[in-house]
Amino acid sequence: MEGRLYAGEDYKKEFDPQHYLKTYYAFDSGTVAENEILKFNLKNLFQTFSSGGVGGDILIDIGSGPTIYQLLSACEAFREIIVSDYTEQNLRELEKWLKKEPGAYDWSPAVQYVCELEGDRSRCQEKEARLRRTVTRILKCDVTQPHPLAPAQVPPADCVLTLLAMECACPDVDAYRAAIRRLVSLLKPGGHLVTAIALRCQSYMVGAKKFFALHLEKETVEKAMQEAGCQVLRCEYCPISYSEVHCTNEGTCFVVARKGPRA
């Protein structure tokens, strides 16, 4: 239906992972803005999980979508990665790549880019194999629920990662603040919350379908983390916006925060 804005439960039937991947993750064969935002996130992830010193036993990725780029640096810093998403089709797309099934999305340009950041472009196959070994569980998640990963039981995490997901999942700012509190509750004391948000967004396109996105300011993101008991360690801003035909955002921010001992 033309003009309809999809949200919430609509994701289960209307969200097409293949359209999403081709639009936002075509890397150097895609549009310039989308590539630059992806590289901005990859550089910040590399910095966070290498020289930034964020690491440990368990990382939980919330709202993984059908993507693995956000885990390429993290797999070097954690013993175990748990991925999660709201929709079955995104989890299935992830599984295809993890199991090297026919038709899996080709992430090799992103893998090569991260290997170059790490100083060894010859490690691409080794990097992919390491990530596949490190992802141990694929779970359903819903950040609008009191226990986002229920009914699954997970141990307290050293890091919770969520990239470009919360602004799609939360219907309003109060729901966003509550969701951040729930994510922080998944962390060990001293654990890290790492997030990227498309700022001032209203909607984004997946194929011919328009999906709702929550308008968030950088200050709102930082304040939500502080109110949830976290100290913001780093907040990087990228002024580049997605192509207008794809998304209505105004810039992107990448934030690293640490949970306080009594949060």
Instruction: Show pLDDT as tens, one digit a residue, over the chain (263 residues).
Output: 457 999 999 999 999 999 999 999 998 766 789 999 999 999 999 999 997 789 999 999 999 999 999 999 999 999 999 999 999 999 999 999 999 999 999 999 999 999 999 998 889 999 999 999 999 999 999 999 999 999 999 999 999 999 999 999 999 999 999 999 999 999 999 999 999 999 999 999 999 999 999 999 999 999 999 999 999 999 999 999 999 889 999 999 999 999 986 43
Closest listed residue to residue 242, CA positions, set 176, 161, 164: 164
Spatial contact of 139 and 84, defined as CB atoms under 8 Å apart: yes
Query: Cis before residue 102, ω within 30 degrees of 0?
Result: no
Q: From start to end of 31-156, where are the E strands?
A: 56-61, 78-85, 135-140
Spatial contact of 148 and 141, defined as CB atoms under 8 Å apart: yes
Closest listed residue to residue 41, CA positions, set 256, 196, 204, 186: 196
Please tell me what DSSP assigns to residue 247. B
